[in-house]
Amino acid sequence: MSYDIIITSDRTMMSNHHSNEFLGFLTTSPSMGLPEPIWMWLAAPKVKVDKIGRPIQAPYGLRKIEAALQNAGFKAAIIDPDHIYKHLNKARIVMMGHHDYFALGPPSCEWMMITGREPINARSFCKFMEKFTQAVRNRDIKIVIGGPAAWQWLYVPKLIEKYRVSTIIDGEADKIIAHITQKILNGDSVPKYIQVNLNDTPRLDEIPLIKYPSVNGLIEVMRGCPRGCRFCSVTLRPLRIYTFDMIERELKVNSLAGIRKGILHAEDLLLYGSNGVKPKPEPLIKLHKLVKKYYMSIAWSHVSLSTVKYGQENFKLISKLTEIIYDSGQSWIGVEVGIETGSVKLARRIMPMKTSPYSSETWPEVVEDAFAIMHEHRIIPAATIIIGLPGETEEDVLETIELMDKLKKYRSLIVPMFFVPMGTLKDKNWFKILNIKEVHEELLIKCFKHSIHWAEDILSKFYLKEPYRILLNILLKIVVNYFKFKSRSFLKHYENRF
Ligand code: SF4
């Protein structure tokens, strides 16, 4: 079988992370406490492929591009990075997608600043590109770059030349990819950089459905977000809610391939089926009943803390959903949430809608109440805090520290991230390690202590408990102990200063 268009990425993307998406986050840092090959194996093991090198599971975003191209009649397929070389004789275009090509996004850039070492996602991608560029040096193959980290190439213009990139597409490419592909195949000129505008952003009925299984059964149920946080690029896109029929068709693709665990992806999952910022129980209940018909166990990608609180206090929503989710196949659920700040002033200025339907003035209470609700329902959040938001003062950081103290008793991981200019704040300055003040150090230490404490609890009671996953559990414990050991010297240094 030969393909005109190959879609691929490096190993840190083309992996199912031992069927645990959370392990994939280890690709955002350099190896710590373990040799790099073991760290790499733990974070991103090779994925099984068929006879011609097509992975049995591939990243959802790449599956969408594959489906769009196949729907338009192109001979296109996702090929594992180890297997693309045998397809290069026939290929005319190689497309690539990534979450974080050069470790410039959070939290990779922060690990890079703290450790002074390059995270394995960037190392792995550049290693792959060096070999790939050699392999295509005498061939007329066009290289098209896309995905959520496409913007990073603008920071490394030399690599655009070195790696012979023809076109970079920044934004949702589902609707325009076939047109661009045809132009490239015709030999027409195509701009080096394409920013997908609102007219070219796909409507719901223009979003293709995946044809082959996605990594860890991830399926999108909603695209876009109505909350408008100023530091976020998602906010610039319109909201589209998948129909139950679309969701079921993608569930069937994964389920027929034997996938029994899956992630429901949305920027605020609890807004599925609502037409504002207040959750609606009926569509959410129907959604979860549908998904549980196909998956034994599920995770949520993201929820906002205000929907958790509002849903539970007004409709007992969290209790109702966890009653559907929890059964013999599942007793807890993981999710990402954004705290971002404990400062009322910054919440009002940077993310006024994130707190809706509550006022920004109540944001710290909203966060604490939502954490309490999640703790009670065995929902384990991985939460983010942003350090160095534009206009941040010492007072703002102290308010975040105060909030951290209140969250101490709730099972969660809290990850501090340095501000990266994105969304409507993309012309602002990056937060750099040189900008760190004592008050930031205090906040970083609180986050480390909190997360180490709860990581040990989660590893001993919830995560990777199946007997066949014991090795993964042990390796993660080694990593947590390494952090503990390292943070002790940091703590000592800090305690001597205050
Ligand atoms: S709630 Fe999340 S996805 Fe929505 S705009 Fe804010 S940061 Fe972005």
CATH number, domain with residue 159: 3.40.50.2300
Spatial contact of 168 and 194, defined as CB atoms under 8 Å apart: yes
Residues 347 and 232 in one domain: yes
**Cβ neighbours of residue 423 closer than 8 Å, sequence gap 6 or more:** 229, 230, 231, 232, 233, 234, 235, 236
Spatial contact of 144 and 160, defined as CB atoms under 8 Å apart: no
Residues 371 and 441 in one domain: yes
- Closest residue to atom 8 of ligand 1, CA basis: 232
The residue count for the chain: 498
Q: Which tokens is 247 given?
A: 């969701």
Say how many Å lie between the CA of residue 224 and the centre of ligand 1: 9
Residue where one domain finishes, among candidates 136, 170, 200: 200
- Nearest by Cα to 222 from 142, 307, 151: 307
- Closest residue to atom 3 of ligand 1, CA basis: 267
Q: Based on the structure, what is the number of domains in the chain?
A: 2
Say how many Å lie between the CA of residue 151 and the centre of ligand 1: 18
Q: Tell me the HSE value of 18 on the side-chain side, using a 13 A CA sphere.
A: 22
Say how many Å lie between the CA of residue 272 and the centre of ligand 1: 14
Separation of alpha carbons 217 and 295, rounded Å: 9
Residue where one domain finishes, among candidates 132, 166, 200: 200
Cβ–ligand 1 contact at 232 (below 6 Å): yes
Say how many Å lie between the CA of residue 229 and the centre of ligand 1: 5
Note the pLDDT of residue 488.
67
Q: Which tokens is 97 given?
A: 């997608």
Question: Amino acid identity of 464?
Answer: L
Question: Amino acid identity of 485?
Answer: F
Domain assignment present for residue 28? The answer is yes
**Residue 95: strand pairing partners:** 7, 144
Q: What is the pLDDT of residues 193-205, one digit of tens each?
A: 999 998 999 999 9
183 DSSP 8-state letter: H
Domain assignment of residue 12, given as a range? 5-200
Separation of alpha carbons 372 and 474, rounded Å: 29
CATH number, domain with residue 339: 3.80.30.20
Burial class (CB in 10 A: 0-12, 13-18, 19+), 300: buried
pLDDT per residue as tens, the chain (498 positions): 889 999 999 999 999 999 988 899 999 999 998 999 999 999 999 999 999 999 999 999 999 999 999 999 999 999 999 999 999 999 999 999 999 999 998 888 888 888 889 999 999 999 999 999 999 998 999 999 999 999 999 999 999 999 999 999 999 999 999 999 999 999 999 999 999 998 999 999 999 999 999 999 999 999 999 898 988 877 667 899 999 999 999 999 999 999 999 999 999 999 999 988 999 999 999 999 999 999 999 999 999 999 999 999 999 999 999 999 999 889 999 999 999 999 999 999 999 999 999 999 999 999 999 999 999 999 999 999 999 999 999 999 999 999 999 999 999 999 999 898 887 888 888 887 677 888 998 999 899 899 999 999 998 888 877 877 888 889 988 988 888 887 766 655 555 554
Separation of alpha carbons 361 and 354, rounded Å: 12
Residues 165 and 249 in one domain: no
Separation of alpha carbons 142 and 163, rounded Å: 11
- Nearest by Cα to 11 from 169, 160, 122: 122
ω into 106 cis (within 30 of 0):
no
Q: What is the pLDDT of residues 268-285, one digit of tens each?
A: 999 999 988 999 999 999
Separation of alpha carbons 389 and 354, rounded Å: 15
- Closest residue to atom 6 of ligand 1, CA basis: 229
Note the pLDDT of residue 324.
98
Domain assignment present for residue 376? The answer is yes
Separation of alpha carbons 427 and 300, rounded Å: 32
Domain assignment present for residue 99? The answer is yes
The verdict on pTM exceeding 0.85 is: yes
Please identify, by atom number, the ligand 1 atom nearest to the C-alpha of residue 235.
5
